[in-house]
Each structure stands twice: as structure tokens, then as C-alpha cells.
């Protein structure tokens, strides 16, 4: 319990460096091929995507109705493919 008394942001950062695990890139790569669905309605999702291929409205509608598949992980962005095209969106906009 004494450890918590001395816990502050700087000590926590030091503790994470010595005790925390390094982020494993293979975790991101294991997401490729997984099915995802949206957290939002079609209109809201349309504002949160960057179209790679296909018609924006059709792609967003297809994703909301049927979900999609992660094709690529690029930092916080996922390239998601659906039957009507593909798009990039932030990982926080989808449910894996």
C-alpha cells in the first residue's frame, strides 16, 4: 500500500517504462481480415470516413448495413473494405 502513496504521473511513467510491456506491432497486424461494424449512424459515419474507392454515400450505407473488413492498419487509421468500395477511418469509429 505504501507504493500508492508515492504514485504521481512521473513515477507512473517511470514504472511503465520498467514494468510495462512494449507495444507489439503484430497486434495491429492481427486485426487485418477482421470483421468490423460502425459505432454511428450512416450520416455521422459519412462525416468520419475518407473514401479510398467507390461512392461515398453508397460505401457508408453499405458499411452501416453490412459491416466491413479491415484491410490495412495505418497508425490510428483502418482501411476498411465493403462490397461497394473502401475507406479510411479512425479506429475509435468502429467495433472490432
- 39-95: per-residue pLDDT in tens? 888 888 889 999 999 999 999 999 999 999 999 998 889 999 999 999 999 999 998
pLDDT at 4 over 70: no
Cα dihedral 88/90/95/96 (nearest 10): 70
d(C-alpha 32, C-alpha 35), whole Å = 9
**Nearest residue to 77 (alpha-carbon basis) of 95, 58, 50:** 50
pTM over 0.75: no
d(C-alpha 76, C-alpha 78), whole Å = 7
C-alpha cell of residue 15: 514504472
Number of domains, the chain = 1
- What's phi and psi for 16, nearest 5 deg? -65, -40
Domain boundaries, position 14: 2-95
Amino acid at each position: 500500500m505504501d507504493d500508492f502513496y508515492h504514485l504521481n504521473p512521473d513515477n507512473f511513467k517511470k514504472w511503465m517504462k520498467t514494468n510495462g510491456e512494449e507495444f507489439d506491432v503484430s497486434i495491429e497486424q492481427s486485426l487485418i481480415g477482421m470483421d468490423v461494424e460502425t459505432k454511428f449512424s450512416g450520416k455521422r459515419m459519412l462525416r468520419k470516413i475518407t473514401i479510398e474507392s467507390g461512392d461515398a454515400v453508397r460505401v457508408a450505407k453499405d458499411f452501416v448495413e453490412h459491416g466491413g473488413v479491415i484491410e490495412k492498419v495505418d497508425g490510428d487509421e483502418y482501411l476498411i473494405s465493403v462490397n461497394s468500395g473502401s475507406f479510411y477511418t479512425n479506429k475509435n469509429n468502429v467495433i472490432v
